[in-house]
Chain A
Amino acid sequence: MDPMLEAFISESRDLLEAAGRCFLALEQNPEDPEQLNDLFRSMHTIKGSSGLFEIPALTRVVHAAEDVLDVIRDGELRLDSAMIDLFLDAMDQVGTWLDDLEAGGSLGEGAPEISDELSGRLRALLGESPEPATTAPQPQAAPEPESGAAVTASPAVPARVEAPEWLDSVPEAARLALYCRAAGGEARVTVVEYLPDPQCFFSGDDPLLTTLQAPERCWLGVDAREPWPEIAAFDPYQCRLRLRLLSGAGSEVLQEHFRYVPEEVSITELQEQQLVMPAGEPGEARIYQGFLDTAPGLIEAGDWAGLRAAIEPLLELGAPGLYQSSALRWLRAVAGAPGPDAALAAALVGAVATGEFALPEAVEPAVPEGGQPPATEGMRGEVRELLQAQAKLLSLHGEGGFPQGNLQAVARVLRGVLSGLEETALLAEVEQALSLPPAEAATALSRLVLGLLEGEGDTGPAGETEEASQQQAEAMELLQAQKTLLSMPARLETWEGILASAERVIREVLTALGRQDQVASLEQAVALAHRQHGGAPVRELLETICTQLTPRAVEPERPATQGQAPAPATDNGGTGRERRQASTVLKVDQARIDTLMDLVGELVVAKNALPYLARQAEEEFECAPLAKAIKSQYAVINRIAEELQAAVMQVRMVPVSSVFQRFPRLVRDLSRKLDKKIRLVMEGEETEIDKNVVEDLPDPLVHLVRNSIDHGIEAPGEREAAGKPVEGTITLRATQLDDQVLIEVSDDGKGIDPEVIKRKAYEKGLIDEERLDRIDDREALQLILAPGFSTAEQVTDLSGRGVGMDVVNTMVGRIGGSVSVESRPGHGTTIRLALPLSMAVTRVMMVDAGGDSFGVPLEAITETVKVPAEAIRRVKQRELVVLRDRLIPLLYLHRVLELAEPAQPREEVAVLVVRVEGQELGLVVDRFHAGMDVILKPLEGILGGFRQFSGTALLGDGRVLLVLNLMELQRCL
């Protein structure tokens, strides 16, 4: 896979996980600014990086989420559980897409539809907020035809939008031809302006080719968006072209065509009447006088043929370059169309007379996008909010990353606001700003917005002092935004842009606040930041400015400002530290670590050969000094090997939090679904455990937690009746105990009744009558782990505790762990998983039996004792020994394995007491040896059938050690 995509996927997964945690934390405390900021940053990063790949569906969803979060962060919207549900759904979908991407390199089936649905739902949350305007007609929001609903709803008469001013540079012939086709219903009218990314050649784009291949191209205009530089400074690989296209295709078709560059094109569908623009030199009016007298009558009568006949001679008479001729050509075209437009024709006749043409009002009233009633006092606040949102939007993006689409969106809102305020002069400024390159346009627009905000404030209802502090608060917010921007990790190539745009905004703010004196220090800081390639100097300056602002910005109704003031210091330092830390963190493919681990394993085996060599030197070659030297060398190598092993194991260690983190979500979702109130407590998340173990852990744990929620915790009513708190508690606890990690899942639910278990186990034939009498409650509970215990109909009888418990048991067993159950009826259940810290190296004890050596896993051994032969008692067929008032059944290893009996009866037997599945068992062996580390290899091939062994290990002297499978031996009892 593309390494960049790979990095994106793994990074985005981390961010999604972080986001999930944030949402859950926010559910408890919906206004936690830190969490909201983190969340916003996560979304922003995913959105940003996703733009590198062809996954517009994913980008759109994340973008929508980001926009909504932005509004929430501003306190204009309050997060509630339903919204969190929606966000989590969206995050899940993004997660699924990431999986799809990883598996197949593309998003799954139906991604565009899902994306539309999700982003639509997200954006719907914005309700009255300005952002929805950015969704529907915006090119990048609707690359798929079906999503261009706003346009396709009325394809024949799209709402009239302003035609771009460059439309008149399209030759008349091209416009005329398209008009005739469009009026006849054979074509639509769409204009496209394409400002390719200056770096686009490096990604293999040929914008010219893309535009040339646009469907139904009628006209293409290519020019430079800024004057060409001196030849010496001219870089042919920096794209400076501006491509303009007139097409007979609909906007949705063109959006599809330009789908890879949605942010660089603006696609506008026009009405065909907008193509009508007579132009030329004004000519002598006299020759047209006769026509002007008759034409209105012909139009009124609907005699279009007559009108056309009257036009022809005039066209022959007048020079083609005359304005009148041009108007007449248009009139001829209008008259020639099926169902001619009388109003348009009349306007054209007027144009012939006066030399001026004004497009008559559209037949279909345009969507009242900007058509707000003139501003009233009550509206001021709303307008303000709109403008503030725009200012924020503009200030949030770096220069390099400012998408054309956003600019368009801002411009659209501004247009609406301005026409509402009847500020026509400023409207022109907006248009002018838009014609600049994106970065400059952003600056120009934000200057405009800031100017407006100031002016608006003057006449606003707010008192003067309040207004001033309001302004300060806004300035603070802007500055904070810059600070966040600067502390975000940025790639080198975008860094300069970010810095430059931050500088611009800060300068604006300073000027607006009348603090020009600080501009000089800003410039210094920026210069320093340039040199250091870090935002620290500018951030420090911001800090100073903010602290200067804060004491004056005492506003009881806006506590957010005050609350934020101290926060950035920590927040800022935090991210700074993270950044430094991040550079020291390495992400390594697990396979490499595994190789390293294998090598360590081989080293351990090779090292273990040294003591044999030493003995050989001493016994066979009778060279004691050499043996001694080997032994001391062995001690050194042993120490290094052990350290190496520990170091490699440390690399493989992962905190269990990586497993735990999915549970808050699981508990939340399930408890909402089941209408139970459940609190999840997690402890010891920092406990570390081997990666392999962690990988196998989620399934059993999910099973256990789900069981606890589903069957353990009672319904709220039931709990209340039992005198328990209505809210149930599930505790997930991880603790390290020697070389084991204990993970407990406990609940304070109804618990399990051991009597029921005993009876069921007996009925199922899992235990015989004798055992039924003997078994204690503790042991009985373990029976639910036995295979064959649980079947579907017992779920209800046993409060479902048996469901799949044997599966859990098997899975945990496979990773070398064990499961135990504790429960008190009415008080709750605890299920404890004991897991090995590491799977790679197993510690075994070597024992001799019947002349052979065997390994016994050390974690199963409880003690080793020597018992006098007479202490062994016989109960019926079974030999037992009493150890500390416990009855321990004995098993002669050599008999079970069918090995040779010892030559003479022993006076004293060596008993290895092991605990298997909660029961103790005494293994009678010939001799104990020391414990040792081995790399346990599973039995394969023909050996696989020998269930009494769990694996083999290679010894230092080359012998193969068989490691016993105690569970299987216990069955031999």
Chain B
Amino acid sequence: MPVSYKKTVAVLEGICSVEEAEGLLEWLVQHPRGKVNLKHCEHLHSAVLQVLMALRPTLSAPPADPDMAAWLLPAINTPD
């Protein structure tokens, strides 16, 4: 299961496929202060990334992979 939803944190692990986008969106809508843990995330599908970019949840942990962090963090933090 690439996404596990805890009480306040959604943990994204491994490769998050396109199917996760809807679930994550729903969870974030229901938990407006919910955080996202990307520490062990290896890849996000574009759709999942869009959810993060549009809802901009707080990251409880950035991706461990420096390459991923390099492009992902600015994307999520860019003010639109």
List residues of A whose CB falls within 8 A of some B CB.
196, 201, 205-209, 212, 219-224, 227-229, 231, 234, 236-237, 239-241
Contacts and interface: CB of A to CB of B under 8 A. Distances in A.
A237 B46 contact: no
B45 interface: yes
Nearest to B51: A236
Contacts of B44: 208
B46 A196 contact: yes
A205 B46 CA distance: 9
Contact of A228 (B21, B22, B53): B53
A221 B76 CA distance: 11
Contacts of B29: 231
B62 to A, nearest CB: 15
B55 A240 contact: no
B47 interface: yes
A206 B45 contact: yes
Tell me what chain A mostly uses at the interface: helix, strand, loop, or mixed. mixed
A893 B46 CA distance: 84
B9 interface: no
A236 B50 contact: yes
B74 interface: yes
Interface string B37-76: 0000001111111110111000000000000001110110
Given A222-B72, A237-B22, 15 more contacts: A196-B46, A201-B46, A205-B46, A208-B46, A209-B43, A212-B71, A219-B71, A220-B70, A222-B75, A227-B80, A228-B53, A231-B29, A234-B25, A239-B50, A241-B53
Contacts of A209: 43, 45-46
Contacts of B54: 224, 228-229, 231, 234, 236
A223 B51 CA distance: 12
B3 to A, nearest CB: 13
B5 to A, nearest CB: 16
A212 B70 CA distance: 12
A209 B78 CA distance: 20
A239 to B, nearest CB: 6
Contacts of A207: 46
Contact of B18 (A206, A227, A241): A206
Contact of B50 (A212, A227, A231, A240): A240
Contact of B47 (A201, A219, A221, A222): A201
A118 B75 CA distance: 43
A229 to B, nearest CB: 8
Contacts of B75: 221-223
A236 B21 contact: yes
Contacts of B50: 224, 236, 239-241
10 contacts: A196-B46, A224-B53, A224-B54, A227-B80, A231-B29, A231-B54, A236-B21, A236-B54, A237-B47, A241-B46
A207 B46 CA distance: 6
Nearest to B46: A208
- Interface centre among A208, A222, A236, by most B CB within 10 Å? A236
B71 A236 contact: no
Among B18, B22, B71, B78, find the residue whose CB has the most chain A CB atoms closer than 10 A: B71
Contacts of B78: 223
A500 B31 CA distance: 39
A611 to B, nearest CB: 68
Contacts of A240: 50
A209 B49 CA distance: 11
A220 to B, nearest CB: 4
Contacts of B21: 236-237
A221 B48 CA distance: 16
Contacts of A208: 44-46, 49
B12 to A, nearest CB: 14
B71 A221 contact: yes
A227 B45 CA distance: 20
A188 to B, nearest CB: 21
Nearest to B43: A209
Contacts of A229: 54
Contact of B22 (A222, A236, A241): A236
Given A208-B44, A227-B80, A228-B53, A222 B25 contact: no
A201 B78 CA distance: 23
A237 B17 CA distance: 12
A22 B47 CA distance: 47
Contact of B71 (A220, A228, A239): A220
Contacts of A205: 46
Contacts of B48: 236
Most chain B CB within a 10 A radius of its CB, from A222, A224, A237: A222
Interface string B16-29: 00100110010001
A571 B25 CA distance: 51
B54 to A, nearest CB: 4
Contacts of B46: 196, 201, 205-209, 239, 241
Contacts of B45: 206, 208-209
Contacts of A222: 49, 53, 71-72, 74-75
Nearest to B78: A223
A228 B80 contact: yes
B19 to A, nearest CB: 10
